[in-house]
């Protein structure tokens, strides 16, 4: 039965729609609730018609394929059992409107068999109260299709990266020194560049502080950032403290790494790279 | 009688490979529906949602740093597999195969030198791009709810990237490698309470030795990439679940 064929009270519909719309509910939800109100108002005015519908649902139930259920179960569960077969809308009409929670019908042991000639497809119908639907309140925003916009951009980025890497790697060879010799310590001995900030700290702190405490602090501190910074705004103007702190620490790390890389020479002593040369290998 | 040439794109084989909505399938139209299907029905592309925020496409928002890190990981995996064919992680008495294999790769293997260069430069660049990616995420405030957990996953990925780069640094078994690793790991000897155990676990001995080489090789080619891919999967998945790219500012 379509909405147009359903008996309803259009006065109640308009009244409910106005009430819902003025309370700021989404238009589609407001419309749905107004429809519900219209049908209920009509049924309350015509209780005799409502009973006729329920009787109709009872007779429809055996055709739905659950003959035993009608004999034992009450009208509402029987109507619900009829829902998968046919007359879903009728089942809605027959269900008691006041009951918020309905018991599922007890299993009868009779597995319903599909009608002869019924298409071999699943047909599922669920009756869901509007408040049972999880509504996602999200602005659709200004969106574009991933294909082709984002994927083309990613493809271009990947192509440029791979081409750049190919050219660079064809021109500049990675270093390979003489065979490892545990008895011959090169001077200076440096860690890979990303650890040179820590190696630089070794000049100023006890190894336990520079090698264990500070790295642990950096990693744990980084992981804790979102739980410490509870400022919900992402506008740079609102996060001056966070941005300043991060920039200072990031620059601190960068400067230490650059010093360790280019300004430390034999004996890990200070050198000026433009006079004594660079003691740095990747 | 003229034989009608078969139309490849109408063949059953072609249709079995390319799902409905694929841009390679006959009948693909440049409509909203087919554009969505092109993303949705592809095993790789469906990492993405079918639609993304327009501002996220701006190069100056992400600088594509996360993407570049991932592409570098792909490049490193491919070149790394190539190098594995020619490399043995052995340096016991009687010859340092690891080092001689490096020389062979450079001199005798077809494209060996190029592959090694790509692998090494790519590794350095990946450390850089992951670090810069982290900075970008901080400056755009992209770690804020609901993305806190994905930031933590990102910190783990940064740590794993450093671990992968550092374990790979030892494998050439030249002077640069063992002394950089000796310096880098000497700090583990200062851990409180478990100094000796930490050192032994890391090096497979008291000093950097052939045991260390084997241990770090296994970490480098198998253990760490495996863990990294797991975290990467969670990282990408959470980007979608947390509502796509952050912003706009």
Same domain for A124 and A150?
no
Chain A residues in contact with B125 (beta carbon < 8 A): 165
Q: Count of CB atoms within 10 A of residue B204's CB?
A: 17
A243 closest CB neighbour out of B114, B139, B145: B139
List the beta bridge partners of residue A15: none
Domain co-membership, A232 together with A126? no
- Give the model's confidence band at A135: pLDDT under 50 very low, under 70 low, under 90 confident, else very high: low
Q: Which residues pair with A270 in a beta bridge?
A: A264
Residue A178 lies in a domain: no
Give the model's pLDDT for residue A91: 42
Nearest-Cα distance to chain A for B213, in Å, is 12
The residue ranges of every structural domain in chain B are 62-241
A44 or B177, which is more confident?
Answer: B177
Are the Cβ atoms of B148 and A195 closer than 8 angstroms? Answer: no
Distances in Å between the Cα of A64 and the Cα atoms of A55, A83, A84, A96, A109 are: 14, 7, 7, 20, 16
Residue A47 is predicted with a pLDDT of 78
Instruction: Tell whether A2 is covered by a domain.
Output: no
Q: What is the ipTM of this complex?
A: 0.93
Cβ pair B144:A144 closer than 8 A: no
Query: Which among B71, B118, B162 has CB closest to A194?
Result: B162
CA pseudo-torsion sign B18, B20, B25, B29: negative
The reply to whether A76 falls in a domain is yes
pLDDT mean over A3-30: 83
Per-residue pLDDT tens digits for A252-267: 999 999 999 999 999 8
Buried b (16+ CB within 10 A) or exposed e, A90-117: bbbbbbeeeeeeeeebeeeeeeeeeeee
Q: Give B-chain residues touching A212 at CB under 8 angstroms.
A: 187, 190-192
Contact residues on chain B for A210, CB-CB shorter than 8 A:
187
For residues A92 and A134, the model is more confident at A134
Under DSSP, is residue A163 helix (H, G, I), strand (E, B) or coil?
helix
How many CA atoms are closer than 13 Å to the CA of B191, on its beta-carbon side? 16
What residues form DSSP beta bridges with B53?
A143
Claim to verify: residue A102 and residue A169 sit in the same structural domain: no
- CA of B224: how far to CAs of B9, B32, B53, B160, B229, in Å? 42, 41, 33, 7, 9
> B67, B248, B239: which is closest to B153 by C-alpha?
B239
- How many Å apart are CA A66 and CA A47, to the nearest integer? 27
**Which site among B21, B42, B43, B51 would you substitute to test the A interface, given the most A Cβ atoms closer than 10 Å to its Cβ?**
B51
Give the span between the Cα atoms of B118 and B103, in whole angstroms.
Answer: 16
Backbone torsion region of residue A116, taken as left when φ is above 0, otherwise alpha when ψ lies between -120 and 50, otherwise beta: beta
Same domain as A123, residue A40: yes
Backbone dihedral angles phi then psi of residue B5, each to the nearest 5 degrees: -65, 135
CB A194 within 8 A of CB B165: yes
Contact B45 A176 (CB under 8 A): no
Distance of CA A139 to the CA centre of its chain: 14
For residue B239, how many other CB atoms are within 10 A of its CB? 20
Which CATH entry fits the domain spanning B62-241: 3.30.428.10, 2.10.25.10, 1.20.810.10, 1.20.120.1200?
A: 1.20.810.10
Q: Which residue has the higher pLDDT, A278 or A116?
A: A278
pLDDT digits (tens, 9 = 90+) for A208-264: 888 889 999 999 999 999 999 999 999 999 999 999 999 999 999 999 999 999 999
Contact A151 B48 (CB under 8 A): yes
Nearest to B236 by CA among B160, B164, B157: B157
pLDDT of residue A25: 78
Q: Is residue A179 part of a domain?
A: no
Q: Would the CB atoms of A138 and B243 count as touching at under 8 Å?
A: yes
Q: Is the CB of residue A234 less than 8 Å from the CB of residue B246? A: yes
Cα–Cα distance for residue pair A79/A90, rounded to 1 Å: 8
pTM: 0.75
Under the banding of pLDDT at 50, 70 and 90, the label for residue A97 is: low
Comparing alpha-carbon positions, the chain A residue that sits nearest to B208 is A182
The domain that holds A242 is classified in CATH as 1.10.287.980
Q: List the domain range (segments joined by +) for residue A156.
A: 144-173
The total number of structural domains in chain A stands at 3
Angle at A135 between CA A130 and CA A136, to 5 degrees: 170
Any B CB within 8 A of A117 CB: no
Contacts of B99 (CB under 8 A, 6+ apart): A179, A180, B91, B172, B173, B174
When scoring B116, B144, B191 by the number of chain A Cβ atoms within 10 A, the one with the most, hence best to mutate, is: B144
Measured between beta carbons, the chain A residues lying within 8 angstroms of B169 are 192
CB count within 10 Å of CB A270 equals: 11
Residues paired with residue A144 on neighbouring β-strands, in sequence order: B52
Residue B116's closest CA among A190, A181, A172? A172
Task: Please state the separation of Cα B41 from the chain's center in Å.
Answer: 24
3-state secondary structure of A195: helix
Cα-trace Rg, chain B: 23
Residue A152 CB contacts under 8 Å (≥ 6 apart), including other chains: none
Contact B23 A147 (CB under 8 A): yes
Report the b/e string of B183-202 with b at 16+ CB within 10 A.
Answer: bbbbbbbbbeeeeeebbeeb
**pLDDT score recorded for residue A103:** 77
Phi, psi of A187 (to 5 degrees): -125, 115
The answer, yes or no, to whether residue A77 has pLDDT greater than 70, is no
Of A9-18, A95-104, A226-235, the poorest mean pLDDT is in A95-104
Instruction: Determine the Cα–Cα distance for residues B236 and B48; give it in Å rounded to an integer.
Output: 9
Searching chain A, which residue's CA lies closest to the CA of residue B34? A147
The predicted model gives A8-35 an average pLDDT of: 85
Pair A272, A209 in one domain: yes
Integer Cα distance of B159 and B164 in angstroms: 9
**Residue A207 domain-assigned?**
yes
Closest CA–CA distance from residue B48 to any residue of chain A (Å): 7
Q: Is the dihedral of CA A184, A189, A195, A201 positive or negative?
A: positive
Same domain membership, residue A80 and residue A28: yes
pLDDT recorded at residue A59: 57
Show pLDDT as tens, one digit a residue, over chain B (249 residues): 677 777 888 888 998 998 877 888 888 888 999 999 999 988 889 889 999 999 999 999 999 999 999 999 999 999 999 999 999 999 986 678 999 999 999 999 999 999 999 999 999 999 999 999 999 999 999 999 899 999 999 999 999 999 999 999 999 999 999 999 999 888 877 888 888 888 899 999 888 999 999 999 999 999 999 999 999 999 999 999 898 898 888
Chain centroid offset of residue A266 CA: 53
The answer to whether the beta carbons of residues B69 and B129 sit under 8 Å apart is yes
State the DSSP string of B199-247: HHHHHSSSSS-HHHHHHHHHIIIIIHHHHHHHHHHHHHHHHHHTTSS--
Q: Which helix (H) or strand (E) holds B53?
A: strand B51-53
Do B105 and B112 form a contact (C-beta atoms < 8 A)? yes
Chain A residues within 8 A of B158 when measuring between CB atoms: 222
Closest in B175, B184, B246 to A234, CB measured: B246
Residue A116 confidence (pLDDT): 78
Contact A212 B247 (CB under 8 A): no
* pLDDT greater at residue A236 or residue A81: A236
Mutant choice from B47, B53, B56, B121 vs A, greatest count of A C-beta within 10 A: B121
A228 touches chain B (CB under 8 A): no
CB of A120 within 8 Å of a chain B CB? The answer is no
Nearest CA in chain B to A195: B184
A97-124 mean pLDDT: 72
């Amino acid at each position: 039965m379509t909405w147009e064929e359903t008996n309803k009270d259009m006065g109640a519909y308009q009244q409910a729609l106005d009430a819902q719309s003025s309370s700021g509910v989404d238009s589609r939800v407001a419309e749905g609730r107004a429809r519900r109100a219209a049908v209920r108002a009509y049924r309350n005015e015509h209780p005799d018609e409502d009973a006729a519908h329920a009787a109709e649902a009872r007779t429809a139930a055996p055709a739905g394929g659950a003959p035993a259920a009608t004999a034992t179960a009450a009208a509402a569960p029987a109507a619900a059992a009829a829902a998968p077969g046919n007359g879903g809308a009728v089942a809605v009409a027959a269900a008691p409107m006041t009951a918020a929670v309905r018991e599922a019908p007890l299993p009868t042991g009779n597995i319903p068999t599909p009608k002869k000639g019924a298409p071999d497809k699943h047909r599922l119908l669920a009756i869901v109260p509007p408040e049972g639907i999880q509504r996602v309140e999200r602005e659709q925003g200004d969106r574009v299709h991933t294909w082709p916009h984002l994927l083309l951009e990613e493809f271009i980025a990947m192509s440029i990266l791979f081409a750049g890497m190919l050219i660079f790697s064809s021109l500049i060879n990675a270093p390979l020194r003489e065979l490892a010799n545990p008895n011959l310590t090169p001077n200076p001995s440096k860690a890979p560049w990303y650890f040179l900030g820590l190696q630089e700290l070794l000049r100023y702190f006890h190894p336990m502080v520079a090698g264990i405490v500070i790295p642990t602090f950096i990693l744990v501190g980084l992981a804790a950032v979102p739980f410490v910074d509870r400022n919900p705004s992402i506008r740079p103007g609102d996060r001056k403290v966070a941005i300043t702190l991060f920039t200072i620490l990031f620059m601190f790390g960068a400067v230490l790494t650059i010093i360790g890389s280019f300004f430390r020479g034999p004996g890990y002593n200070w050198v000026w790279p433009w006079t004594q040369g660079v003691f740095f290998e990747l | 009688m003229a034989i009608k040439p078969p139309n490849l794109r109408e063949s059953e084989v072609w249709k079995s490979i390319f799902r409905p909505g694929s841009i390679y399938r006959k009948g693909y139209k440049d409509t909203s529906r087919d554009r969505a299907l092109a993303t949705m029905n592809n095993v790789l592309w469906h990492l993405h949602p079918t639609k993304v925020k327009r501002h996220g496409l701006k190069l100056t928002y992400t600088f594509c740093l996360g993407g570049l890190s991932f592409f570098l990981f792909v490049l490193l995996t491919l070149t790394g597999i190539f190098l594995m064919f020619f490399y043995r992680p052995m340096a016991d008495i009687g010859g340092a195969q690891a080092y001689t294999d490096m020389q062979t790769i450079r001199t005798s293997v077809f494209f060996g030198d190029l592959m090694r260069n790509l692998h090494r430069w790519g590794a350095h660049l990946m450390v850089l791009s992951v670090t810069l990616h982290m900075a970008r995420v901080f400056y755009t405030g992209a770690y804020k709810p609901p993305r806190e957990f994905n930031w933590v996953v990102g910190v783990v990925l940064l740590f794993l990237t450093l671990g992968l780069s550092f374990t790979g640094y030892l494998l050439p078994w030249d002077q640069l490698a063992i002394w950089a690793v000796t310096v880098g790991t000497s700090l583990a000897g200062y851990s409180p309470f478990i100094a000796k155990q930490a050192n032994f676990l890391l090096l497979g001995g008291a000093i950097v030795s052939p045991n260390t080489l084997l241990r770090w090789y296994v970490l480098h080619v198998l253990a760490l990439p495996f863990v990294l891919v797991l975290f990467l999967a969670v990282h990408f998945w959470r980007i979608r679940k947390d509502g796509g790219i952050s912003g706009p500012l």
